[in-house]
Amino acid sequence: MATPSEHLRDLRIDEQVVRYPEQESSPGIYHGPSLRALRSIGFGTDPGANQIPIAVGTIVAPSPGHLFGEHRPLSGWMTEPAAMDALLYASGMLAGHVGRRASLPVSIDQIDFGRLPAFGEPLRVVVKWLTADNEGTGGVMTALLIGQNDDRIAELTGYRIAWLPKAATKLDFGVGL
C-alpha cells in the first residue's frame, strides 16, 4: 500500500470532526492538546477489496517543537510524533467502529517511514480492517499516512489489536460510532 489506490483516493466518505475526550471524562485514554492532530474521520467500506471496513481521516502535522519545545533542534526527525499518535488513534477508532468496543494495541509487524511532513500540512490517513483473529479476541489492520502530494509519510502493516471486555469499557471517541 505505497500510495492509496485510485478507488480510495476518489472514494467519498463523510468525515466528522474528532472531539477528543477531556481528562476528567476519560479515565482510559487522554490526549493533551499537543497530541490532538487527528482533525476528522469517517467510516465506510472499500468497494475494491471485498467491502472491508475502512476509516479515512485528516491529520494536521504540528511541529515537533510543539511537543518538545521550540528551543530544541527541529532537524533530524524521522517522523512527527503527534502525527504518528494520530495515525494510531485513527486506527483505534476504526477498531472501535468495527467491534463496538475499545481495544488496545498488541503489536505492529512493520512500520515504514517515508518523508517527514511539513509543519501544518494536512495529511490523509487510510486505515483498513483486514481480519478478526481466530479466537475473536482482536483483529489486524493496516494504516497509511500520506502527504498532500501522495508521498508516503508512514505505513503500518500487521497492526494487531486486542478487545477490552465490553463491561470494562466506555466507547467515546468523540464522533458518532
The string of pLDDT tens digits covering residues 43-79 is: 999 887 788 999 999 999 887 666 666 666 666 667 7
Question: How far, in Å, CA of 145 to CA of 80, rounded?
Answer: 12
Q: Report the pLDDT value the prediction gives residue 47, as an integer from 0 to 100.
A: 80
Per-residue pLDDT in tens (0 to 9) along the chain, 177 residues: 445 555 556 677 899 999 887 765 555 566 677 788 999 999 999 887 788 999 999 999 887 666 666 666 666 667 788 899 999 999 999 999 999 988 999 999 999 999 989 889 999 999 999 998 878 889 999 999 999 988 999 999 999 999 998 765 555 555 544
- Which of helix, strand or coil describes residue 24? helix
